Amino acid sequence: DLPSSIIRRLPVRFTYNNNYFNDRYQGIPIGGYTKIFKQLLAGSDVELNVDFIKERHKYINKALKVIFTGTIDSYFDYCFGDLEYRSLRFETETLNTSNYQGVAVVNYTDRETPYTRIIEHKHFEFGTQPKTVITREYPQNWNRTIEPYYPINDNRNQQLYAKYKNLAEKEKNIIFGGRLGEYKYYDMQDTIRSALNLTKEIL
């Protein structure tokens, strides 16, 4: 039931090409995303473990604009029903070997393998550590108590999202962004492009 365009996210290759995509230019921040976000947020007030939905009025009233990147249906108290998402479960293991799979990410697309990919973290930055850490990523059905990762962009959900989008457009100082706020199956570069375009509009 998913749109065929989603398959374009996954390169198919039979080599140990160390790149995740086939794009001419690609990369991740040196030191990883945690490091770059620490730098981006330096000098800002950061509050963790806050339920924005429960305290929305407090934050909306103290800001000229709020960029909401949570699930758009939760913001509106699921008034039209739940949008559907896929979630993930991660199992991380330290192995007593310098190399497990030779590349950062290997996807497993067969029905028999219970996980969808194995990530070997050291290969993102060409690490030379004597041990290696791998993470197996398992698909998981989503419910409201666990983290949503991927919108399910089939016809039913797109029609439901259109109703929430209509409500979102009536909000005065709330901007809905990201995979969950825009209910789009973004790759990272598309997420960043959307954020930069939004920044231009705001400023």
pLDDT one-digit tens code per residue, 124-148: 888 999 999 999 999 999 999 999 9
Whether residue 8 lies in the annotated active site: no
Whether residue 111 lies in the annotated active site: no
Whether residue 137 lies in the annotated active site: yes
Whether residue 147 lies in the annotated active site: no
What's the rounded mean pLDDT across residues 150-173? 93
Q: What is the DSSP string of the chain?
A: ---GGGGGGS---SS----SS--SS----TT-HHHHHHHHTTTS----S--TTTTHHHHHHH-S-EEE-S-HHHHTTTTT-PPPEEEEEEEEEEESSS-SSSSSEEE--SSS-S-SEEEEGGGGTT---SSEEEEEEEEEE--TTS---EE--SHHHHHHHHHHHHHHTT-SSEEE-HHHHTT----HHHHHHHHHHHHHHH-
Q: Which domains are seen in the chain, by residue range?
A: 47-83+146-203 (3.40.50.720)
Whether residue 120 lies in the annotated active site: no
Whether residue 185 lies in the annotated active site: yes
Q: Which of 9, 89, 144, 193 is catalytic?
A: 9
Using pLDDT thresholds of 50, 70 and 90, give the confidence band for residue 20.
Answer: low
Q: Which of 100, 108, 115, 117 is catalytic?
A: 117
